[in-house]
Amino acid sequence: MNITAILLAAGQGARLGRGPKAFLSFAGKTLLEHNLDLLTANKKIRQIILVGPREDLPRTRKIVAQYPKANITVTAGGASRAASLAAGVKKLGHDELVVIQNVANAFATAKELDKVIQAGIKYGAAAVGRPVTSTIKRVCGRTVRETLPRHKLWAMETPQVVQRDLLLAGLQIAKKEGIEATDDLQLAELAGAQPTVIHASEQNIKITNPADLPTEYRSGLGQDSHRFAETKKPLILGGAEISKTGGLSGNSDADVILHAICNALSSAIGGGSLSTWSDEMCVQGIKDSKKYLAEILKKVRAEGWHVVNCSVTLEAGKPKLEKHLPKINCSLAKLLSIPADCVGCTVTSGEKLTSFARGEGVQAFALVLLRR
């Protein structure tokens, strides 16, 4: 049986507040790419009709170009799901079975897709869904009119599969009777079918609100070291002044902790070394490493990431830094906008095995955890 997939990706994601859903990024890929990975990997699907946001078709086609071996047709969607489905149906050929997938169900599994296709072939229409767990009431205004028996209620997801003739018939009936179907099984029902439902996987939920997005984490590791300065200079560590003298050598304030954290943050978002942005700032006379940290934090937050935890290890034979760690912790917590108990600093003398342990300088390693 020949199968065409219609991927509905024209939604604006107003409730998410982050632009069209199709281009929302998770785990290094857009939701559109996650869906295309799923559909192009299924050997039963002969063609994909991608219904994208009208104003973003060039961007959509650029992503589609990453799948040169796939048979993908791009068309503009409408103001509603029903209108976008109608736009996709206009591009249908004569394949007997149609898979309809919402771009918002970006984490549907290949196993689900296979099962629902087999059920669609057998029953004419099928979809994935899950039994509701909350009590559902029909409410008018704020007045409860009816409590529905939840053991009979299912929440529907995609993929949904409908035989082509049933889909076309359902669309005609819906248009004639002024019905705007909210899912594809409804159209099959209008055409007289009795669809079947397959259990959806736990991760397959429609991404509608920010809380629906899976939590994504990244970590970054950074290192920096400086020798002690020969001239009189304050010792700055973690944005805190430790002493008026005994500072570290460098073009800036040589704050090895903040430099290591900058490198860790940059590496976590795929950026370059500290010097790629601090050198120019240094030439402009900006020596305060807190400004370097602020710059990389802007980039981190612009991509939707937030610092969860920061861990720092120092290697230094001198001065004795243990007593200064609470002050450093408080300073870092303030600079990173995280609770003080989410910052940890330790120090080792290194048994004099390295130049840092022998008191020639200070080395710092930083590990950061980011959440989006």
CATH fold for the domain made of 217-371: 60s Ribosomal Protein L30; Chain: A; (3.30.1330)
pLDDT digits (tens, 9 = 90+) for 45-59: 999 999 999 999 999
How many Cβ atoms from other residues are within 10 Å of residue 262's Cβ?
A: 29
Instruction: Quote the percentage of the chain above a pLDDT of 70.
Output: 98
Tokens at residue 65, please? 């170009």
Query: What is the rounded average pLDDT of the residues 70-79?
Result: 95
pLDDT band at 238 (very low <50, low <70, confident <90, very high): very high
pLDDT digits (tens, 9 = 90+) for 155-185: 999 999 999 999 999 999 999 999 999 899 9
Tokens at residue 311, please? 């861990």
Class of domain 3-212: alpha beta
Q: Which amino acid is at 357?
A: A
| CATH 3.90.550.10 in the chain, residue ranges | 3-212
Intra-chain end-to-end CA distance of the chain, in Å: 42
Enumerate the H helices of the chain as residue ranges. 31-41, 57-64, 81-89, 110-123, 164-177, 184-190, 256-268, 275-283, 289-302, 325-336
- Rounded mean pLDDT of the chain? 93
**In this model, does residue 364 exceed pLDDT 90?**
yes
pLDDT digits (tens, 9 = 90+) for 90-122: 999 888 999 999 999 999 999 999 999 999 999
What is the C-alpha to C-alpha distance for residues 33 and 37, in angstroms, rounded to an integer? 6
| CATH 3.30.1330.50 in the chain, residue ranges | 217-371
pTM over 0.75: no
Are 252 and 233 a contacting pair, CB within 8 Å?
Answer: no
Which uninterrupted H or E stretch holds 242?
Answer: strand 240-243
